[in-house]
């Protein structure tokens, strides 16, 4: 009822000389207000393309994106402006997303300028408050991004993302480039900011243990599609999709599920090319449980008990 973001059958292919890379190939989900939905999967599964398509950094090929009940799939640049104010993005590499020639003050003032918020004195004050909220000293405002460590730079990128008090922040691998000790600090910062402001996160990571720490629900992607989406507790108790089970077997869990499930599973071979994904179930070439039907029929993402959805012929076939 009344989700913040609703995505239906979203498709985004990248056209290359070798053919169309089916990066996002029919993805549907919703995010509630203040919720964190994690997206996990191997690199190349389409997570980043999904995030960028939701931001309209890529134009979707098909499907619908609704934000606060409004269809924003095909809005023009000007109509998108109020939406952009409410949907921000944080990237893996803060250095790449922060203009190196600008001071922190300029970087953090820009969102207010673009949206015509406040006068010079007011913006100064807002920048000071933003720096404090992300754990940086107000004196840092006159420095440039290169004068900061990776973790501090990510704090600046976060400050910029939350400047306009967005309803949704898309975090694409926000801690993957950082040392493990710094990762925890940044994740804790993101969680605190969420508690303070009630914003929702779409949190993308290849690292299931990171996603498990922040997410309320988790979507598992494989070759451009969601294969399982479930509340974190349900997924932790029992991953249902064979691919999810493999992902789970590879990480040290804080509270491990049953011993049987802790046996280390490994995947056969490399992921197939997203240019020519296998027919039928896309996971069948690597699935330890593949049956003849899996090579012919793509399993639909179906509701099963516990508020979860799974796309596998073995699951929910009552």
- Which residues sit at the interface with ligand SF4, rule CB under 6 A? 242, 281, 283-284, 287, 289-291, 294, 299, 312-314
What is the closest distance, in whole angstroms, from the C-beta atom of residue 173 to Mg ion in the complex?
6
What is the closest distance, in whole angstroms, from the C-beta atom of residue 61 to ligand SF4 in the complex?
25
Report the partner that residue 310 touches, choosing among Mg ion, ligand SF4, none (CB closer than 5 to 8 A by kind).
none
Q: What's the farthest any 2 CA atoms get from each other in the chain? A: 68
Report the partner that residue 294 touches, choosing among Mg ion, ligand SF4, none (CB closer than 5 to 8 A by kind).
ligand SF4
Residues 78, 80, 84, 86: what is their CA dihedral angle, to the nearest 10 degrees?
120
Stretch binding Mg ion (CB under 5 A), from 40-48, 60-68, 108-116, 255-263: 40-48
What is the closest distance, in whole angstroms, from the C-beta atom of residue 191 to Mg ion in the complex?
22
Instruction: Tell me if 249 sits within 8 A of 264, measured CB to CB.
Output: yes
201, β-bridge pairs: 36, 169
Report the partner that residue 48 touches, choosing among ligand SF4, Mg ion, none (CB closer than 5 to 8 A by kind).
Mg ion
According to the binding rule CB under 5 A, does residue 49 interact with Mg ion?
no
Report the partner that residue 153 touches, choosing among Mg ion, ligand SF4, none (CB closer than 5 to 8 A by kind).
none
- Please identify, using beta-carbon distances, which residue of 65 and 247 lies nearer to ligand SF4: 247
Instruction: Tell me if 242 sits within 8 A of 16, measured CB to CB.
Output: no
Report the partner that residue 146 touches, choosing among Mg ion, ligand SF4, none (CB closer than 5 to 8 A by kind).
none
Instruction: HSE, CB side, 13 Å, CA atoms: give it for residue 58.
Output: 20
Report the partner that residue 151 touches, choosing among Mg ion, ligand SF4, none (CB closer than 5 to 8 A by kind).
none
Instruction: Tell me if 87 sits within 8 A of 68, measured CB to CB.
Output: no
- Please identify, using beta-carbon distances, which residue of 39 and 148 lies nearer to Mg ion: 39
DSSP assignment of 164-184 equals T--SEEEEESTTTTS-HHHHH
What is the closest distance, in whole angstroms, from the C-beta atom of residue 287 to ligand SF4 in the complex?
3
**Strand order in 168-172's β-sheet?**
87-90, 168-172, 200-205, 36-40, 217-222, 225-231, 308-310, 302-304
E-assigned strands of 206-316? Answer: 217-222, 225-231, 302-304, 308-310
- Please identify, using beta-carbon distances, which residue of 76 and 269 lies nearer to ligand SF4: 269
What is the closest distance, in whole angstroms, from the C-beta atom of residue 170 to Mg ion in the complex?
12
Phi (first) and psi of residue 135, to 5 degrees: 80, 25
Report the partner that residue 290 touches, choosing among ligand SF4, Mg ion, none (CB closer than 5 to 8 A by kind).
ligand SF4
According to the binding rule CB under 5 A, does residue 48 interact with Mg ion?
yes
E-assigned strands of 160-316? Answer: 168-172, 200-205, 217-222, 225-231, 302-304, 308-310
Q: How many residues bind Mg ion (CB under 5 A)?
A: 1
Site residues, Mg ion (CB under 5 A): 48
């Amino acid at each position: 009822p009344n989700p913040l973001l609703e995505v239906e059958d979203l498709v985004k292919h990248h056209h290359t000389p070798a053919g169309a890379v089916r990066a996002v190939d029919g993805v549907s989900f919703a995010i509630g207000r203040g919720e964190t939905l994690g997206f996990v999967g191997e690199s190349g599964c389409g997570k980043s393309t999904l995030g960028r398509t939701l931001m309209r950094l890529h134009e979707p090929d098909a499907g619908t994106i609704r934000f606060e009940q409004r269809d924003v799939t095909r809005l023009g640049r000007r109509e998108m402006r109020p939406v952009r104010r409410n949907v921000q993005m944080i990237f893996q590499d803060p250095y790449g997303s922060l203009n190196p020639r600008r001071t922190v003050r300029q970087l953090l003032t820009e969102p207010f300028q673009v949206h015509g918020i406040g006068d010079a004195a007011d913006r100064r004050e807002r920048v000071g408050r933003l720096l404090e909220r992300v754990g940086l000293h107000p004196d840092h405002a006159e420095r440039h991004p290169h004068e900061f460590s990776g973790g501090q730079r990510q704090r600046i990128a976060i400050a910029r993302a939350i400047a306009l008090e967005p309803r949704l922040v898309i975090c694409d691998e926000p801690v993957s480039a950082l040392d493990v000790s710094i990762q925890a600090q940044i994740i804790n910062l993101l969680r605190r900011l969420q508690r303070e402001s009630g914003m929702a996160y779409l949190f993308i990571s290849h690292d299931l243990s990171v996603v498990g720490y922040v997410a309320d629900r988790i979507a598992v992607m494989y070759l451009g599609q969601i294969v399982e989406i479930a509340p974190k507790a349900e997924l932790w108790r029992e991953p249902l999709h064979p691919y999810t089970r493999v992902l789970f077997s590879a990480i040290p869990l804080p509270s491990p599920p049953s011993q049987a499930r802790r046996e280390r599973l490994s995947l056969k071979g490399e992921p197939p090319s997203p240019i020519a994904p296998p027919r039928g179930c896309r996971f069948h070439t690597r699935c330890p449980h593949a049956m003849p039907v899996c090579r012919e029929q793509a399993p639909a993402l179906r509701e099963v008990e516990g508020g979860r959805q799974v796309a596998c012929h073995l699951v929910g076939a009552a």
